[in-house]
């Protein structure tokens, strides 16, 4: 097999084509990638000579670009994923319109009859403060058991109806129409690094639905292997960093005194930032709460992949094929 002349990353090559399980029947696989941190630098400098720069120089430029929102160079790095997820997760996912997508089609392919069931710990009541979220604690175990039983009855009927319609030679595009949103679908999803990091910023956030967060966290671990310096800058500047509004900067200026290149000094005590003073600077009660949260340094998450969980494509393919209805039986 001829040796490639394109830049590769050994950490990425180690997981290429491997399948990482997500939820009960889902997965994420890096099918292919193009480029790494060095390609971000080369695009920014419009230079040549791959591998001639020091890693520290590449890191400095990658961090500068992300810090100052110069995103075009990171569009030169691309990822191609193979993913399987419940349909309701796919409908959230597809809102990110900056990727190329080819989804499994139930019009000419038989749907694997795999359905997502939340674990007991992820089954919760509606949040009282967030209309699109769930409470942090799990609901009563008996309620979860009853929900699973009801879901099971509905899914069994939907699956039997689907198989019956197929057996009667009804068109597949019609037979599929009553399969529930918990049914798993698949797609190939190709996206550049800039837009992938935007996707991850939104989808690993605690406010995102837990199910799509589970997929995003695996993908973040993949980014860490393909472009580790870009991953590091994303964590520092986007994921755990926060932009400041004019009012928030005004508030900070009451505490800190610029000292040129020597740094800053303390100008006033923190009690100068009471709620009344912040309101006078134009901050609403919600903005005050958010500003207070920004002043607390968050921990940096580590989306390291567990290679012990990586599965070969052939094994995943056999499981998916086994879930497809057998029209000959």
Give the pLDDT score at 215.
98
| Digit-coded pLDDT (tens) for 206-241 | 889 999 999 999 999 999 999 999 999 999 999 998
Q: Using CA atoms, how far apart are residues 187 and 155, in angstroms rounded to an integer?
A: 22
Give the pLDDT score at 271.
63
Q: Let me know if residue 1 belongs to a domain.
A: no
89 and 38 within one domain: yes
Lowest-pLDDT range of 97-106, 220-229, 293-302 = 293-302
169 and 237 within one domain: no
Contact 181, 88 (CB under 8 A): yes
Give the pLDDT score at 272.
65
Structure tokens at 41: 């630098």
Give the pLDDT score at 12.
97
31 and 98 within one domain: yes
Structure tokens at 124: 């919760």
Q: Let me know if residue 109 belongs to a domain.
A: yes
Domain count, the chain: 3
| Digit-coded pLDDT (tens) for 39-74 | 999 999 886 655 556 778 889 999 999 999 999 999
176 and 66 within one domain: no
Give the pLDDT score at 80.
98
Distances (CA, A) of 166 to 162, 174, 176, 283: 6, 9, 9, 60
User: Where does a domain end: 152, 181, 210?
Assistant: 181
Among candidate residues 86, 107, 109, 108, the one with its CA nearest the CA of residue 155: 86
Per the model's pLDDT, the better-predicted residue between 37 and 254 turns out to be 37
Per the model's pLDDT, the better-predicted residue between 255 and 53 turns out to be 255
Does residue 268 carry a pLDDT above 70? no
Lowest-pLDDT range of 75-89, 176-190, 192-206, 269-283 = 269-283
* Residue 21: its H or E element: strand 19-22
Domain that holds residue 231: 10-116+184-241+298-322
Per the model's pLDDT, the better-predicted residue between 47 and 195 turns out to be 195
Q: What is the DSSP letter of 301?
A: P
User: Where does a domain end: 181, 208, 233?
Assistant: 181
Antiparallel, parallel or unpaired: β 78-86 and 26-34: antiparallel
Q: Using CA atoms, how far apart are residues 114 and 112, in angstroms rounded to an integer?
A: 6
47 and 190 within one domain: yes
Q: Let me know if residue 329 belongs to a domain.
A: no
User: Where does a domain end: 181, 216, 233?
Assistant: 181
- Tell me the average pLDDT of the chain: 90
Tokens 């971000």, residue located: 40
In the chain, % of residues over pLDDT 90:
69
Question: CA triplet 232, 233, 237: central angle to 5 degrees?
Answer: 125
> For position 207, which CATH number holds?
3.30.1360.170
Give the pLDDT score at 293.
82
H, E, C per residue of 109-168 = CCCCCCECCCCHHHCCCECCCCCCCECCCCCCHHHHHHHHHHHHHHHHHHHHHHHHHHHC
Q: Let me know if residue 4 belongs to a domain.
A: no
Distance of CA 100 to the CA centre of its chain: 16
Q: Let me know if residue 69 belongs to a domain.
A: yes
Helix, strand, coil abundance in the chain, percent, nearest 5: 45, 15, 40
Rounded to the nearest 10 degrees, the angle between the axes of helix 37-45 and helix 55-67 is: 70
Give the pLDDT score at 265.
62
98 and 36 within one domain: yes
Catalytic residue among 203, 213, 259, 286: 203
Q: What is the DSSP letter of 108?
A: T
Does residue 14 carry a pLDDT above 80? yes
Among candidate residues 211, 309, 291, the one with its CA nearest the CA of residue 254: 291
Give the pLDDT score at 147.
97
Contact 175, 108 (CB under 8 A): no
| Catalytic residue check, 203 | yes
252 and 144 within one domain: no
Distance of CA 239 to the CA centre of its chain: 12
| Digit-coded pLDDT (tens) for 127-138 | 888 788 898 899
Q: Let me know if residue 28 belongs to a domain.
A: yes
173 and 27 within one domain: no
130 and 35 within one domain: no
212 and 104 within one domain: yes
Does residue 35 carry a pLDDT above 70? yes
Q: Using CA atoms, how far apart are residues 228 and 222, in angstroms rounded to an integer?
A: 9
Q: Using CA atoms, how far apart are residues 60 and 40, in angstroms rounded to an integer?
A: 12
Mean pLDDT of 310-315: 96
Q: Let me know if residue 327 belongs to a domain.
A: no
190 and 232 within one domain: yes
Give the pLDDT score at 258.
65
Is residue 119 packed enough to be buried (19+ CB in 10 Å), middle (13-18) or exposed (0-12)? Answer: exposed
204 and 159 within one domain: no
Structure tokens at 276: 């009344």
Q: Let me know if residue 5 belongs to a domain.
A: no
């Amino acid at each position: 097999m001829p040796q490639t002349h394109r830049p590769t990353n050994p950490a990425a090559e180690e997981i290429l084509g491997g399948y990482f399980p997500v939820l009960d029947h889902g997965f994420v696989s890096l099918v292919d990638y193009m480029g790494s941190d060095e390609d971000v630098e080369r695009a920014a400098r419009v230079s040549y000579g791959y591998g001639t720069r020091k890693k520290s120089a590449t890191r400095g430029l990658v961090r500068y670009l992300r810090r100052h929102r110069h995103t075009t160079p990171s569009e030169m790095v691309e990822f191609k994923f193979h993913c399987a997820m419940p349909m309701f997760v796919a409908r959230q996912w597809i809102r990110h319109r900056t990727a190329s997508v080819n989804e499994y089609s139930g019009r000419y392919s038989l749907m694997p009859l795999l359905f997502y069931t939340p674990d007991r710990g992820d089954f919760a009541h509606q949040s009282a403060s967030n209309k699109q979220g769930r409470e942090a604690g799990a609901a009563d175990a008996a309620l979860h058991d009853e929900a699973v039983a009801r879901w099971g009855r509905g899914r069994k009927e939907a699956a039997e109806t689907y198989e019956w319609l197929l057996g009667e030679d009804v068109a597949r595009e019609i037979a599929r129409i009553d399969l529930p949103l918990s049914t798993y679908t698949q797609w190939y999803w190709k996206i550049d690094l800039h837009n992938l990091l935007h996707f991850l910023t939104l989808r690993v956030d605690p406010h995102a639905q837990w199910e799509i967060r589970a997929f995003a966290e695996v993908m973040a671990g993949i980014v860490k292997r393909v472009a580790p310096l870009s991953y590091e800058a994303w964590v520092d500047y986007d994921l755990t960093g926060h932009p400041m509004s004019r009012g928030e900067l005004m508030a900070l200026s009451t505490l800190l005194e610029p000292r040129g290149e020597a740094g800053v000094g303390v100008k006033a005590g923190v009690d100068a930032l009471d709620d009344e003073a912040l309101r006078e600077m134009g901050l609403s009660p919600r903005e005050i709460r958010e500003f207070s949260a920004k002043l607390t340094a968050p921990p940096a998450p580590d989306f390291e992949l567990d290679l012990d969980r990586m599965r070969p494509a052939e094994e995943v393919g056999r499981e998916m094929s086994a879930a497809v209805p057998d029209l000959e039986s």
